[in-house]
Amino acid sequence: MARKIKVLVTDDQTELALELKSVLETDSEIEVVGIASDGFDALNKMAENTPDVVLLDIRMPNMNGVVATQRIKAEYPDTKVVILTTFDDSDYILNAINNGASGYLLKDIGATALIDAVKNAYEGDTILPAKIARRITVAAKHVAADREIKLTRAFNMSDREVQIALMMYEGFTNRQISAALKLTEGTTRNYVSSIYEKTHSENRADAIRAIKEVL
């Protein structure tokens, strides 16, 4: 028989945590190895018995789910973290995903869907209910718009310069920028030179540092 998927349930509401444990243990492929009350408790329990998947409440005292996700992924990179929430809060969602969470589950999820989500997370899938996926899309657009506004205000860049500056910041080379935006490499170099000038930079690394400071 294959090894069971080890799960740690982390929620400051003990009754809910026990309910989740009961549901998960109806499946013969899953073993709940512990229940933790907050991020600190989760890390302590993980030191004793490292789980494959951590179900992690987003809002807890002492150490919330976003910070706990960051700590867990830093110390246990192979462990999958799935966030549990009753709040479809865009900032929390983006922060947790950016810190390495494998996805989100709403606490009112059904038993079968919960078990499937744990198995899917273990296999490496990203778990996002449609409602939350829509929120992330909207939030990501707001973040992108905010970054564009910041660059425009700080350096008086044109729309195209902002677009290229952000691509430089994300690590794109001139050739990749040219291909993505259907520009000649000469045109891209001209835009990059203008970005250097507007950010008072002598090279790409300086420009990226200037852009990072504004973002």
CATH 1.10.10.10 residue ranges for the chain: 143-214
Pair 126, 104: CB distance under 8 Å: no
Report the predicted TM-score, pTM, of the whole model to 2 decimal places.
0.64
**CATH number of the structural domain 5-128:** 3.40.50.2300
CB-based burial of residue 181 (10 Å sphere; 0-12 exposed, 13-18 middle, 19+ buried)?
middle
Residue 1's pLDDT is 47
Would you say residue 8 has pLDDT above 90? yes
Q: 174-181 and 159-169 are packed helices; what angle lies between their axes, rounded to 10 degrees?
A: 130
pLDDT digits (tens, 9 = 90+) for 76-106: 999 999 998 876 565 667 677 777 888 888 8
| pLDDT reading at 201 higher than 90 | yes
CATH 3.40.50.2300 residue spans of the chain = 5-128
The alpha carbon of 44 is separated from its chain's Cα centroid by a whole number of angstroms, namely 23
Looking at domain 143-214, its CATH architecture is: Orthogonal Bundle (1.10)
What are the percentages of helix, strand and coil residues in the chain, rounded to 5? 55, 15, 30
User: Buried b / exposed e across 83-92, counting CB within 10 Å, b at 16+?
Assistant: bbbeeebbeb
Bridging pattern class, strands 30-36 and 5-10: parallel
How do residues 100-158 score in pLDDT, each as one tens digit? 888 888 888 899 999 999 999 999 888 877 777 777 667 667 767 888 899 999 999 99
Token digits for 125? 């899938």
